[in-house]
Amino acid sequence: MGISNLIFALSLVTAIFLFRRNVLKIKRNIFLGRDVNRSDQSFLRWKTMARVALGQTKMMVKPIAGFLHVIVYAGFVIINIEVLEIIIDGLFGTHRVFSFLGVFYDFLIASFEILALLVLLACVLFFIRRNGLRLKRFAAKEVSGWPKTDANLILVFEVLLMGAFLLMQGADLALQKMGTAYYVEAGSYPVSSYLLFLFEGMSESSVILFERFFWWVHILGIFAFLNYLPYSKHLHIVLAFPNTYYSNLKAKGAFTNMDSVTQEVKLMLDPDADPYATPDPDSSDDIQRFGAKDVTDLNWVQLMNAYSCTECGRCTSECPANQTGKLLSPRKIMMDTRDRLETYGAEIDAGDDQENQRPLLDGYISREELWACTTCNACTDACPINIDPLSIILDMRRYLVMEESAAPNELNMVFTNIENNGAPWQFSAADRLKWKDEL
Ligand code: SF4
Ligand code: SF4
C-alpha cells in the first residue's frame, strides 16, 4: 500500500467515524421524544414514501423549481455510484476498476458527466433565484443569517464538486489520449471532452498533477459534504424517506385524542372506579404533561420532522395567518423545534441539567404565534415531505389550555359556556328554543 492509499484510507475512516457519531447524536435526540405508533398500514406508508420522497410529486406544484430539484437530487444520487469506484481505486491503487464493464461502463460514465453538468447548471440557477430574485419566502427573517448562508454554501459546494468531477474526467481523458501508463482507455466523455483544450501544450506530468489534484478535491469534498449534512438543512436528503414513511396518514384535520385524557374520562365514567385510589407505584406509566411545553413533550415523529425540514418556506407562503401579517410562520415553528432540540442534546452531552434552559414554549415559540394559527392545514398540505407543523402548534396549545389555563379570553368564555350550558353560547339549555317564540 502506497502513502497515498494510506492517506485515503485514513480520510475514509475518519469521515465515516465522524458521520456515524453525528448520526447517532441525531438519533438519540429524535428519540428523546415521546413514543407514537406509526407501524400501521405499511403498504400505504411505502407507497407514500415512493410517491412523495422518491417521486418528489409535491415538489412539482412549482414545476420549474421542482424540475431543477429533481435534477439535483437524481444527479446527487446517481453520480455518487461513481464514488464506489473512487473508493476502491483509492484503497487499492487501481484506476477505473469497473472499466471491465465495457459498453455499460461507457454508458455509466457518459450519464455521470451529463448529470454533473445539469446539476452544476441547476445549482447556478438556484443560487441566482435565491439571491437575485428576492422571493418573499427566501427573504423572511427566520431564514436570514446562518440558514441563508447554509443554503448558499451547499449550492456553492455542489458546483465545486461537480466542477472538480468534470475537470478530473477531462484530465483523465487527456492522459488516456497521451497513452500514459495507468490511465486505461475506458469510458465515454460527452462533456469533459470539451475541456481538453485546457490541457493542450501541457506536459504529461503536469496533466497527471491536475488529474490527481481534482481527484482528491472531488473525493475529499464528498467526505466533507457527508459530515456537513448533519449540521445543515440538507439532512433532508436522507431524512425525507423515513419522514414520509412515518407521516400522518389520518384524514387532514383529524385531531388525535390524548391517551391520558381518554383514561381520565373512562375513569370518571366507571362506577366501580375508586377516585381516591393512589396510583400503583410499580406502574410503568409515566406521568406526562398534557400537551407540549418543551421538545421532550413532543413525539419522535415531530422531532424527526424538525430535523427533516428543508426550510423551503412553502408552508409559510400558504399560511393564511402569515399572509395577513401575523407573527406565525410554520417554517419557523419547525426551525425553532430543531434549534431547541439541538441545544437540549448539546446540554445532555455537556452533562448539564436542563433547569436553566429556555423551553420551546416562550423560549423559542411565543404564545402569540401559537394562537394565530387557524388550524387550516395548508402548511401540512404544502410541505413537499409531509411535515406537520400544525401538530406541534396543537400540542403546545393543549399545554397552554390544559396545564396553564392560559387560553385567550375569547376561548375561555367559550369553555365556560360549554361547561355551564353544554354549548358555546351564553344561554342556558332551557332557553335554547326561545328564539321560536319571537316568530
Ligand atoms: S394550520 Fe396554522 S400554521 Fe398551518 S397554514 Fe394553517 S394557519 Fe398557518
Ligand atoms: S415544513 Fe415543509 S414546507 Fe415548511 S419549510 Fe419545512 S420542508 Fe418546507
Give the position of cell 406502574. Answer: 283
Q: Is the CB of 313 under 6 A from ligand 1?
A: no
Q: What is the pLDDT of residue 78?
A: 79
Minimum-distance ligand 2 atom for the alpha carbon of 308: 7
Looking at the CA of 391, name the nearest ligand: 1
Q: What is the pLDDT of residue 306?
A: 96
| pLDDT tens digits along 144-202 | 888 888 888 889 988 998 899 999 999 999 999 888 888 888 888 999 999 988 888 88
| pLDDT tens digits along 22-62 | 999 999 999 999 988 888 899 999 999 999 998 888 988 88
Asked whether the beta carbons of 180 and 204 are under 8 A apart, the reply is yes
Q: Is the CB of 389 under 6 A from ligand 2?
A: yes
CA atoms in the 13 A half-sphere facing the CB of 29: 28
Looking at the CA of 65, name the nearest ligand: 2
Looking at the CA of 379, name the nearest ligand: 1
Q: Higher pLDDT residue, 279 or 5?
A: 5
Q: Percent of the chain scored above 70 by pLDDT?
A: 96
pLDDT at 333 over 90: yes
pLDDT at 418 over 80: yes
pTM recorded for the entire structure: 0.86
Looking at the CA of 313, name the nearest ligand: 2
Q: Is the CB of 320 under 6 A from ligand 1?
A: yes
Minimum-distance ligand 2 atom for the alpha carbon of 305: 1
How far does the centroid of ligand 1 lie from the alpha carbon of residue 139, in Å? Answer: 20
How far does the centroid of ligand 1 lie from the alpha carbon of residue 327, in Å? Answer: 12
The long-range contacts involving 56-61, CB below 8 angstroms and separated by at least 24 positions, are 56/384, 58/382, 58/383, 58/384, 58/385, 58/386, 59/384, 61/314, 61/382, 61/384
Mean pLDDT of the chain: 88
Q: Higher pLDDT residue, 135 or 35?
A: 35
Minimum-distance ligand 2 atom for the alpha carbon of 311: 5
Q: What is the pLDDT of residue 134?
A: 77
How far does the centroid of ligand 1 lie from the alpha carbon of residue 339, in Å? Answer: 20
Amino acid letter for position 384: P
Q: Please write down the HEC assignment for all residues of 350-374.
A: HCCCCCCCCCHHHHCECHHHHHCCC
What is the DSSP secondary-structure string of 6-22? HHHHHHHHHHHHHHHHH
How far does the centroid of ligand 2 lie from the alpha carbon of residue 4, in Å? Answer: 43
Question: Ligand 1: which of 248, 377, 391, 394 to mutate, judged by most atoms within 8 Å of the beta carbon?
Answer: 377
For atom 6 of ligand 1, the residue with the nearest CA is: 376
pLDDT at 296 over 80: yes
| pLDDT tens digits along 349-366 | 887 776 667 899 999 999
Question: Can you tell me the mean pLDDT for 67-92?
Answer: 84
Q: Is the CB of 313 under 6 A from ligand 2?
A: yes
How far does the centroid of ligand 2 lie from the alpha carbon of residue 116, in Å? Answer: 27
Comparing CA positions, the residue from 387, 299, 281 lying closest to residue 335 is 387
Confidence category of residue 302, pLDDT binned at 50, 70, 90:
very high
pLDDT at 285 over 70: no
Q: Higher pLDDT residue, 135 or 326?
A: 326
Give the position of cell 447554509. Answer: 150
How many other CB atoms are there within 10 angstroms of residue 356's CB atom?
7
**Region of poorest pLDDT, from 277-281, 297-301, 331-335:** 277-281
For atom 3 of ligand 2, the residue with the nearest CA is: 383
Q: Is the CB of 319 under 6 A from ligand 1?
A: yes
Q: In this structure, what is the dihedral angle of CA atoms 223, 227, 228, 233, given to the nearest 10 degrees? A: 120
For atom 5 of ligand 1, the residue with the nearest CA is: 319
Residues in the chain: 439
Query: Would you put residue 184 in left (φ > 0), alpha (ψ -120 to 50) or beta?
Result: beta
How far does the centroid of ligand 2 lie from the alpha carbon of residue 384, in Å? Answer: 7
Q: In this structure, what is the dihedral angle of CA atoms 240, 385, 118, 78, given to the nearest 10 degrees? A: 30
Element (H, E) at 399: helix 389-402
What gap in Å lies between CA 180 and CA 172, rounded to an integer? 10
Minimum-distance ligand 1 atom for the alpha carbon of 329: 3
3-class DSSP state of 45: helix
**Region of poorest pLDDT, from 113-122, 130-139, 212-221, 385-394:** 130-139
Q: Is the CB of 52 under 6 A from ligand 2?
A: no
